[in-house]
């Protein structure tokens, strides 16, 4: 794990340094400092408050998604969620996504694979909302089709944004199809039957070897599929689905409003709420790339590029993006740390330890 962590950190550091250079190469350091001095930091407080409300709603949405797997309270969902997001900000490899189900397993006895599936379900809601916002904004906001911003070796323009949006939409469709296949009993039973039948294709091995393969590999895989299905069982409850969709809309609008409130205190950022929302959506596509913990560099590259599309000067774009990044990240680190202290969670342990319910492991052949 240490080797993988090191490789992830080196790769992310290289990408982040390059992105940071490209984002700030045209902005003198003195100009950046003078811009920070001109910011009205009174707007920081409502921005942070709005951000934390959006995360509280995220925790409530996750609680609803988790209900088929286990009846847990709001705080039992809130603390793991905040710890997971905090870990993403301080450790490489985005291990916060696996830390959340690891904490659930330790504290609430929910199988790790089931908890991981609920985190994936959250991401499906978020990606779907991002694509919807992207499509709406791309259709309503005027972006000069001839605008071409050179960013290193890349030409960032409207055509590239459209291409990225289409690619993400196709990926979302594949995820939804996969969730449906796993979630419904009939299709899942057929999948499991095929998995259990696979050893019969190994005509060159004897009956004992086939039984061993089935018991040590196929049955644990079937158990894993069942745990995943439990995590995605929300699709069987339309009312809960609609509640989660509504919460997702509010969560992302609050996130955009947090950006907008911060922009009110930043000189040179005279953009509407819709334009700030577009900036946030574009930035989210950038931070999907590998980077150092906290998305430093990649965040700035995405924010500067998006603001340049709306005619914001390089100085104001760089200053606002960096200041807003700090506002969006440091409160999450602080709240996540408090949650870790309150729940007595060892951050490093839940991030990198081997999972007790690693049901595909030969050492754990019995399905759970």
Cβ pair 295, 278 in contact under 8 A: no
d(CA 220, CA 104): 21
Paired with 155 in beta bridges are 150
CA distance 208 to 199: 11
Evaluate the CA torsion angle 233, 234, 239, 242 in order and state its sign.
negative
C-alpha angle 46/99/323, rounded to 5°? 30
Residue spans of the domains in the chain: they are 2-352
Contact 319, 336 (CB under 8 A): no
List the pLDDT tens digit at each of the 368 positions of the chain: 456 656 555 665 665 566 566 556 656 677 778 888 999 999 999 999 999 999 999 999 999 999 887 888 999 999 999 999 999 888 877 888 889 999 999 898 888 888 888 888 888 889 888 888 887 777 777 665 666 666 555 566 666 667 766 776 777 777 777 777 777 778 888 888 888 888 888 877 788 888 888 888 888 888 777 767 776 777 677 888 899 999 999 999 999 999 999 999 999 999 999 999 989 998 888 887 776 788 888 888 888 888 888 888 888 999 999 999 999 999 999 999 999 999 998 888 887 776 544 443 333 333 33
Half-sphere exposure of 91 (CA within 13 A, CB side): 23
Calpha distance 276→307 (Å, rounded): 8
Q: Are 100 and 122 a contacting pair, CB within 8 Å?
A: no
């Amino acid at each position: 794990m240490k080797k993988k962590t090191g490789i992830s950190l080196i790769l992310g550091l290289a990408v982040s340094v390059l992105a940071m250079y490209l984002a700030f190469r045209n902005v003198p350091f003195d100009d950046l400092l003078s811009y920070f001095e001109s910011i009205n930091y009174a707007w920081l407080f409502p921005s942070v408050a709005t951000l934390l409300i959006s995360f509280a709603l995220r925790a409530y949405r996750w609680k609803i998604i988790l209900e088929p797997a286990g009846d847990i309270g709001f705080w039992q969902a809130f603390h793991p969620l905040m710890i997971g997001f905090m870990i993403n900000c301080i450790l490489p490899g985005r291990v916060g996504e696996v830390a959340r189900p690891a904490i659930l397993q330790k504290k609430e006895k929910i199988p790790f694979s089931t908890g991981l599936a609920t985190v994936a379900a959250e991401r499906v809601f978020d990606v779907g909302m991002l694509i919807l916002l992207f499509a709406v904004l791309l259709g309503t906001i005027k972006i000069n089709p001839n605008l071409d911003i050179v960013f290193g070796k890349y030409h960032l323009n409207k055509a590239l944004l459209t291409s990225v949006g289409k690619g993400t939409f196709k990926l979302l469709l594949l995820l939804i199809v996969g969730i449906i296949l796993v979630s419904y009993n009939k299709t899942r039973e057929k999948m499991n039957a095929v998995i259990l039948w696979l050893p019969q294709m190994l005509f060159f091995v004897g009956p004992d070897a086939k039984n061993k393969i089935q018991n040590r590999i196929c049955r644990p895989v079937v158990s894993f599929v069942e745990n995943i299905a439990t995590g995605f069982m929300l699709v069987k409850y339309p009312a809960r689905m609609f509640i989660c969709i509504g919460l997702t809309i509010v969560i992302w609008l609050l996130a955009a409003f947090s950006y907008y409130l911060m922009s009110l205190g930043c000189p040179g950022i005279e953009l509407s709420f819709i334009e700030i929302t577009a900036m946030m959506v574009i930035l989210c596509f950038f931070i999907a790339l590998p980077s150092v913990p906290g998305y430093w560099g990649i965040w700035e590259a995405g924010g500067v590029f998006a603001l340049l599309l709306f005619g914001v000067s390089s100085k104001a774009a760089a200053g606002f993006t960096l200041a807003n990044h700090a506002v969006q990240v440091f409160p999450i680190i602080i709240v996540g740390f408090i949650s870790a202290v309150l729940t007595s969670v060892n951050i490093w342990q839940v991030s990198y330890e081997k999972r007790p319910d690693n049901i595909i492991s030969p050492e754990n052949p019995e399905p759970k």
